Structures are given as structure tokens and as C-alpha cells.
Amino acid sequence: MTSIRATRCGAAKWGAIGRARNTAILPVLVATLVAAPAMAQDVSGRPDDLKIGGDRISVGIGMASTPDYIGGASSSITPTAAIQGQVSGISFNTQGTAIYIDAVPSSGRPGWKLELGPLAALRLDRTGKLDNPAVRALGRLDKAVELGGSIGVQRTGVVTSPYDTLSFSLSYQHDVTGAHGSYVASPEIDYDTPLSEHAFVSLSASADYVGAGFGRYYYGVDRAGSIASGLPIYPGADKAGWKDCNLSTMAVHSLTGNLLHGLGVFATGGYQRLLGAYRRSPVVADVGSANQWSGALGLEYSFR
């Protein structure tokens, strides 16, 4: 998500804190801006992952509320699922219809770490059911497969303990199917901290810079579209620029065991603000909203 992205106790707890925090990050992967195939999906950027030591797999299921499309005024509630894990220090995670791999192994110790790896995403915005009749009259868009990568740095042991984490990253992904035929570049900052052996919170901020093809495809209205929908012709999004800024938060609490192993409950919340030419598009300004809210609630299970 992307995202959206304290301590454990006792000798065993302290040794496990870094590893356990990775299990808590799964709720971020259920990030509310990229939930289920029929929903609006903003799959820009690197899915959050703390990547600190220990082989593990976490799976999560829940219900998410997201806008019908990025810029829409109504929302849908649908099921969502995600998986995250780490094997031999190599981390992988999914976020909605995106997957990310950090190919730089984690040492599992506090300090600086390079983050580098590929990502792939399936963008489904405006490809499914739409409640708004004007946007529906514009026609469904094609699915976009986006491939790219991410690079960043992560510091473990920042403020609250040797186990909180601050990350800075930049991702780039390009459509390889010819749907919008363009790119998305996303800088992101994440702060994550365990509050105890059973509780974890995460905060993240990001922005998306898109190419001209992206803006034209998702936010432009041509003459034929104007006639079909009644919306005014709009060529203003046919240029590169900053599409949005995003804030997200997440909290998780274990119900059995701890954050490293067992069942937990999570909640997420997100806010996205569309900017500039994209905010002025008729699909946003006339029949949608520049303010996008999202949230999710569900269960996750972690095991080693």
C-alpha cells in the first residue's frame, strides 16, 4: 500500500522484535487504496515492508472500503487479501494487485540498509463496475500491467527503540501493455514502530508523478467521450505532473501469540488528495471528488 507504512519484552522478546515487526506489516499490504480487483486501484509505489531478519510468512484477509475509481465520489466495500514473507533475508509482499521483492538481504540488525528490487502491478482503475453514470458512459478502460523497480534506504533504530524504522524510497513503474503506455514515479517516506510485543503502528506519506499518457488515459475527456457522457471536453491532463499526495496509517494487535506468530487484527486508514490538472478533470471536479478516503479491517495470521 502503499502504504501506509515500541518494543517487545524479555530476552526472547527483544531478540524477536525485529523479526516480529515484519509480521505486523501485513495490514499495510492490505492497504486500502489498492484493495480488490473490482475496485479503484492506485498501485503506485513500493508496498511497505520492514524486512528485518527471520524467515516467515504472513497472510491476511479483510474488508476494505475504497473509491470506485481514483477521483470518484462514491466508495465500495469488498473483500481483500494479501501475503508477505521473507526467505533467507529476501523479502516479498503483495499489495492488492501489486507485488514487490527486495533483493538486498536483511542482516536483521539495527542500522542502515539499502532497499532495491523489482515490482509488478496490475492497474484496474475504471475497468470494473462504476456507479457514476457519466463516468460509466465514458466506457471501461483496459487493464494496465506495470513493471518497474524501487530503490531506497532504511534506518532501523531511530527514535523509540532499536527496532523502530524510518524508510525513504523512490519507485518507478511503466505500463507494458499499451493501456496508458506511460509511467508512475513515487517518492515515499515510512515510519514504523512496535509499541509492545502485541501492538504495532505505521505511518507513511507519498506522492505520485505521472506521465502524459497516464493523465490523458485516466483523466482526459475527448469529443466522443463528451458526447456520450455529457461531461465537457478536457485535454488539460495530457501532460506529466504530480497527480496526488497520500497519507496512510495502520495499527495491528495480536490476539494469540505475538506479532511474530499467531492471529492478529488490523485496521488501516488512508487519505489521497488529487492535484493540479488531474483534480480539475471533469471525472473528478464535476462528478467526483479530489479527496479520497479509504479504510480496511481484517485478520492476519503469521507463521514461521
Alpha carbons 26 and 35: distance in angstroms, whole number: 13
Q: Please report whether residue 297 resides in a domain.
A: yes
Higher pLDDT among residues 50 and 140, named by residue: 140
- Whether 72 and 282 have beta carbons less than 8 Å apart is answered as no
For residue 201, the model assigns a pLDDT of: 93
Q: Where does the pLDDT of residue 116 fall: very low under 50, low under 70, confident under 90, or very high at 90 and above?
A: very high
Q: Please report whether residue 208 resides in a domain.
A: yes
> Which residue in 78, 160, 179 sits closest to 121, CA to CA?
179
For residue 271, the model assigns a pLDDT of: 97
How does pLDDT run across 245-270, given as a tens digit for each residue?
999 999 989 999 887 789 999 999 99
How does pLDDT run across 181-234, given as a tens digit for each residue?
999 999 999 999 988 888 989 999 999 999 999 999 999 999 999 999 999 999
Domain with residue 118: its CATH number is: 2.40.160.40
Q: Please report whether residue 187 resides in a domain.
A: yes
For residue 25, the model assigns a pLDDT of: 34
Q: In terms of residue numbers, what domain contains 100?
A: 10-303
Q: Please report whether residue 2 resides in a domain.
A: no
Residue ranges of alpha helices (H) inside 74-138 are 133-137
Alpha carbons 258 and 235: distance in angstroms, whole number: 53
How does pLDDT run across 77-112, given as a tens digit for each residue?
999 888 888 888 888 888 778 999 999 987 777 899
Report the mean per-residue pLDDT for the chain: 83
How does pLDDT run across 136-187, given as a tens digit for each residue?
999 999 999 999 999 999 998 888 777 889 999 999 999 999 999 999 999 9
Q: Please report whether residue 1 resides in a domain.
A: no
Adjacent-strand bridge partners of 245? 207, 273
Give the chain's domain count.
Answer: 1
